[in-house]
Amino acid sequence: MKTEQILKDEGGTLGRAELTQVFCEKLSLDKKVASGLLETLIDALVYNFKQGQPLKIQGFGSFSVHQKNERPGRNPKTQKTVTISSRRVVRLRPSALFQKRLNNEI
């Protein structure tokens, strides 16, 4: 099955199962190996981000970890004011090459 068909069948959502299927197709791997590859990739990314280190994937983009401070928020249903706790977030800055591929310029 083609990658485009996988995404079309799943409504455009690319989850773990779909990524595993894409790895199987593109890399001729069996499902267990492809699943292990995906888990290893995710573990490596999480480990890197927990260390606060940026990550650059050539031709894709740069990931960086940022700290968000505690701030006031509002529950839209009840209008009650709540405190949103501080947390770390990952940001992606797409590369110029990625953006060109996205906009069919390459």
Return the domain boundaries, the chain: 1-51, 52-106
- Distance of alpha carbon 64 from alpha carbon 93, whole angstroms: 8
CATH class of residue range 52-106? few secondary structures
- Distance of alpha carbon 46 from alpha carbon 1, whole angstroms: 30
pLDDT category at 12 given cuts 50, 70, 90 is: low
8 pLDDT exceeds 70? no
pLDDT 10s digits, 21-63: 889 999 999 999 999 999 999 999 999 999 989 999 999 999 9
Residue 51 in contact with residue 40, Cβ under 8 Å?
A: no
DSSP states along 8-51: HHTTT---HHHHHHHHHHHHT--HHHHHHHHHHHHHHHHHHHHT
Mean pLDDT score across all residues of the chain: 89
